[in-house]
Amino acid sequence: MSDHKFRFGVVVTPEGGGTQWAATAKRVEELGYSTLLMPDGLQLLSPFPSLAVAACATTTLRVGAFVLAGPLRSPRAAAWEGHSLSVLTEGRFDFGIGTGRPEAQRFAEALGRPWGSAGERLRGVAESIEHLRELDGDRHTPVLVAAGGPKALALAACTADIVTLAAPPLAGRDHLAGMAATLRDAAGERAGDIEISMNLFAVGDDEIPPWTQKFIGADRATLAAHDSQTLVGGTPAEMADELRRRRDEYGLSYVSVNGSFLEQFAPVVELLAGT
């Protein structure tokens, strides 16, 4: 299904000061992860300076927004920030963007930015990518689009290098396979160039951290009962086998994991990264 080799990212946010954040970035790199990813929202530090610090603390680690909430910035401002970080990291930045989760509406209002309709938010994502390409010139900053519905998948199929399948937390195997098929159909000849990604909320057999349970509205048992694709359980070898199955079935090759499982998931990274 996919010719892409496995690679892995960690979704994490800064805690403490710059020294602690730099140490986190170094640890992510040491464990063999490809990318340090950071979410976007006013409850957090700004992703652009945070990712710049993480990149400066490491040598090969990629950094990326996961993902920018489009309405929080004008398309031109988002592209300007993204292009700047791409240049300063010497190409180690991935420009991740989406239309924003519902809770981002209050952030947009706090910033004096319009939230807009679903269609307007999607157009803002497209414009941000267009401006980034203009600023990049001969440079190519990889673009990651988080896409759930058909229209977002269609946009991602035309514009993205990486597409994160933004499925509901309880979505099972068939749902993800259907999304991937929709993406490939829309992408046509460039389907093979697109890296398919998704984020894991739960790893192994431990319970999900309380804040994550609140965020997704489910505990580990509920995820398991629905065959949620945001969960991989068992031993490292069993988890590796499951991810190979997902690559065969719907092309998943780029897997990001909740930062709470950074150490626990590292043996799976060791087994699969680059294979």
Residue 23 has pLDDT above 90, yes or no: yes
Domain assignment present for 119: yes
DSSP 123-149: HHHHHHHHHHHHHHTT----EEEEE-S
Per the CB < 8 A criterion, the answer to whether 163 and 148 are in contact is no
Strands 252-258 and 62-65: unpaired
Q: What is the mean pLDDT of the chain?
A: 97
Residue 1: pLDDT band with limits 50, 70, 90: low
Average pLDDT rounded to a whole number, residues 155-165: 98
Domain-located, residue 239: yes
Q: Is residue 81 part of a domain?
A: yes
- 3-state DSSP assignment of residue 200: strand
Q: In one letter, which amino acid is 202?
A: A
**Residue-by-residue DSSP string for 203-257:** ETTSPPPHHHHHHHT--HHHHHHTT-TTEE-SSHHHHHHHHHHHHHHH-EEEEEE
Q: What is the CATH number of the domain that holds 266?
A: 3.20.20.30
Q: Answer yes or no: is pLDDT of 209 > 90.
A: no
Higher pLDDT, 236 or 2: 236
The pLDDT of 153-162, averaged and rounded, is 98
Average pLDDT over residues 199-225: 91
Tracing tokens 């398991």 back to the chain, one arrives at 224
- The alpha carbon of residue 24 and the mean position of all alpha carbons in its chain are separated, in whole angstroms, by 18
User: Would you say the pTM of this structure is higher than 0.95?
Assistant: yes
Q: Could you tell me if residue 221 is inside a domain?
A: yes
Whether 1 is in a domain gets the answer: no
Residues 6+ apart with CB under 8 A from 223: 169, 170, 201, 202, 208, 230, 231
**In terms of residue numbers, what domain contains 107?**
7-272
Q: Considering only CA atoms, which of 250, 268, 274 is closest in space to residue 31?
A: 268
Residue 2 lies in a domain: no
Quote the number of domains for the chain.
1
Residue type at position 189: E
Please give the average per-residue pLDDT across 24-39, as a whole number: 98
Q: Which residues contact 24 (CB under 8 A, 6 or more apart)?
A: 12, 14, 15, 36, 54
pLDDT digits (tens, 9 = 90+) for 96-148: 999 999 999 999 999 999 999 999 999 999 999 999 999 999 999 999 999 99
